């Protein structure tokens, strides 16, 4: 594990060095103050946390990724750390607003531009969501003598995480609920039925909002395709 972490830190240093070359080139071309910079990643790395490596499971280490944005027009907000829950779907609407393009109605994300201006948005999500799918482990033709259900539709999980805890719903019908306010290591489980039910309802609401990808909620109208007029829906976990 020590060698693996050393290699990982070496890769971080390599990325840092290459980004430095890019920044230097932008400055040499007099483009640094005319360029919005976004640095993010597709997934995290367990790197020994929870006794795991690579990206796997429901733990935050695999899904909580870096998100750095620099807008040269708002230097007063540079270096600001945002503790709000953001998701990768926020990047596209952020770019749209930053360059003055209307955000398409079918976007699932929220623009981060208020934060880039050093302001608080009028509304923001109270929880983050992520999923993990491991069906590819069962369709490569290799023989597996494993004791669990191998139906493909059951080989995934979904997570809803707020500032108090996290709820993990497995596709086989089982679940886990963690008290992260007391124990951020994901080892203390919540067993209070009222609290678990609140998370389960929030998960169901979120899934129902994103389950239909057949465009039945879309309208063809002047200017393109968009959603039916709809107020912003607030997805949050009810207080126990």
pLDDT in tens, 41-85: 888 776 667 776 767 777 887 778 888 999 999 988 888 898 899
Structure tokens given for 187: 């080892």
Tell me the helix, strand and coil percentages in the chain, rounded to 5.
35, 15, 50
Residue 173 DSSP symbol? S
Q: How confident is the model at residue 171, as a pLDDT?
A: 84
Among 15-24, 46-55, 151-160, name the most confident range. Answer: 15-24
> Quick one: pLDDT band at residue 233, thresholds 50, 70, 90?
very low
* Cα Rg of the chain, angstroms: 21
Structural domain contains residue 6: no
Query: Strands 156-161, 175-179: parallel, antiparallel or unpaired by DSSP?
Result: unpaired
- Is the separation of the CB atoms in 124 and 163 below 8 Å? no
Q: Which pTM does this prediction carry?
A: 0.77
- The residue-averaged pLDDT of 225-230 equals 54
Domain end point (choices 99, 124, 149): 124
Count up the domains in the chain and report the number: 2
- Least reliable range by pLDDT among 3-7, 65-69, 213-217: 213-217
Structure tokens given for 157: 């999980």
H/E run at residue 175:
strand 175-179
Residues 146 and 214 occupy one common structural domain: yes
- Domain span at residue 148? 127-240
Residues in the chain: 240
Domain end point (choices 124, 150, 185): 124
Residues 120 and 141 occupy one common structural domain: no
Structural domain contains residue 138: yes
């Amino acid at each position: 594990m020590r060698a693996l972490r050393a290699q990982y830190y070496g890769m971080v240093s390599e990325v840092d060095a290459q980004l430095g070359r890019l920044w230097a080139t932008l400055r040499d071309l007099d483009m640094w103050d005319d360029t919005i910079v976004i640095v993010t990643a597709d997934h995290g790395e367990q790197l020994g946390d929870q006794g795991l490596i690579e990206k796997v499971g429901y733990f935050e280490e695999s899904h909580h990724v870096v998100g750095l944005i620099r807008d040269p027009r708002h230097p007063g907000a540079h270096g600001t750390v945002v503790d709000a829950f953001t998701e990768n779907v926020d990047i596209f609407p952020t770019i749209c607003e930053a360059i003055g393009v209307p955000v398409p109605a079918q976007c699932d994300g929220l623009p981060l531009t208020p934060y880039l201006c050093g302001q608080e948005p009028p509304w923001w999500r109270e929880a983050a969501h992520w999923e993990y799918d491991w069906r590819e482990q069962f369709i490569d033709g290799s023989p597996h003598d494993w004791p669990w259900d191998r139906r493909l539709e059951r080989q995934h999980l979904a997570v809803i995480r707020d500032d108090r805890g996290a709820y993990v719903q497995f596709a086989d019908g089982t679940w886990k609920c963690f008290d992260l306010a007391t124990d951020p290591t994901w080892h203390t489980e919540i067993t209070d039925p009222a609290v678990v039910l609140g998370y389960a309802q929030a998960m169901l609401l979120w899934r129902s909002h994103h389950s239909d990808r057949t465009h039945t909620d879309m309208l063809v109208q002047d200017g393109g395709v968009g959603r039916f007029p709809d107020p912003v829906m607030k997805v949050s976990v009810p207080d126990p």
